[in-house]
């Protein structure tokens, strides 16, 4: 175990409780279609480069009729960044010590009409303290209604916590971040993304409240969208379209995703880090 201050304990507790509620909501969707699928949880522990205990986490994965593969991971880790990687992290250039806790979720769906999704929120401490995260919708077959409802949920979360929540800025940040440069295409239909949201001293409570609102917005809207689309029939051509789209999703996560790199550079659990990869994909 690693020692936590009150803010770190509060953030870890929230991420773990959000995990429990999301997993219960996803399992309830599986029950709606007569599936007994449930999350399987695997704990993991990390040893820091110094040889000291460096925290760990819990990897949760479910494979069902609606969710072909969904992973919901939580982790709480600490230690020191190695080498030059420290200089790439906010506030760690002159002092490589760090703490990080967060939740990360990726869902790949069995029906191409049901959008895949990513959600992540996190709290990091170096010589700075900040929250970051966001969510983005990734439909192989986009529906304007789903896109509008997804964005509206996160806009409401931002507006309720203004000026900390800045929807125009955070939605544009998602457009810029979730983009595949070598393909010159967006990964999906966007959402919000934010980082380095100051959480030192008096800034902690509003930044934490906004981050909780992001998690609540996700939990409120995504199951609605899934239920809206899960019964639609699909063709072999539409399934093939989904598998090709998944290939691009995998390319983004392996080449550009900062969370993947952070996990690998800090000695995280490989299975948890690569949980985001789809169970099936094609490249054509």
Residue with tokens 């948890």: 272
Q: What is the CA radius of gyration of the chain?
A: 18
Using CA atoms of 225, 71, 241, 110 in order, give the dihedral in degrees to the nearest 10. Answer: -70
Residue 108 catalytic? no
**Which residue in the list 108, 113, 118, 161 is annotated as catalytic?**
118
CA-to-CA separations, 277 to 137, 192, 284, in angstroms, rounded: 15, 21, 18
Classify 51 in phi/psi space as left (phi over 0), alpha (psi -120 to 50) or beta. Answer: left
The helix-helix angle for 167-177 and 144-160 (nearest 10°) equals 130
The helix-helix angle for 144-160 and 204-229 (nearest 10°) equals 160
Residues known to be catalytic: 118
């Amino acid at each position: 175990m690693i020692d936590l201050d009150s803010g770190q304990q509060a953030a870890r507790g929230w991420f773990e409780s959000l995990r429990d509620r999301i997993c219960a909501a996803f399992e309830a969707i599986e029950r709606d279609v007569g599936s007994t699928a449930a999350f399987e949880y695997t704990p993991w522990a990390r040893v820091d480069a110094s040889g000291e205990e460096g925290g760990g986490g819990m990897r949760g994965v479910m494979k069902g009729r609606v969710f072909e593969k969904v992973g919901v991971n939580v982790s709480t880790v600490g230690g020191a960044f190695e080498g030059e990687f420290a200089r790439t992290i906010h506030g760690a250039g002159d002092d490589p010590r760090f703490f990080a806790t967060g939740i990360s979720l990726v869902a790949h769906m069995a029906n191409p009409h049901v959008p895949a999704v990513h959600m992540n929120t996190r709290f990091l401490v170096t010589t700075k303290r900040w929250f970051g995260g966001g969510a983005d919708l990734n439909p192989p077959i986009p529906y304007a209604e789903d896109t509008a409802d997804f964005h509206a949920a996160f806009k409401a979360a931002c507006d309720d916590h203004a000026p900390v929540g800045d929807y125009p800025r955070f939605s544009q940040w998602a457009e810029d971040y979730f983009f595949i440069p070598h393909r010159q295409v967006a990964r999906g239909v966007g959402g919000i993304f934010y980082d380095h949201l100051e959480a030192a001293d008096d800034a902690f409570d509003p930044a934490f409240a906004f981050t909780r609102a992001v998690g609540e917005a996700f939990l409120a809207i995504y199951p609605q969208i899934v239920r809206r689309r899960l019964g639609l029939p699909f063709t072999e051509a539409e399934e093939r379209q989904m598998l090709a789209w998944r290939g691009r999703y995998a390319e983004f996560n392996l080449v550009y995703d900062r969370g993947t790199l952070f996990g690998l550079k800090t000695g995280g659990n490989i299975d948890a880090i690569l949980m985001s990869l789809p169970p099936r994909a094609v490249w054509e």
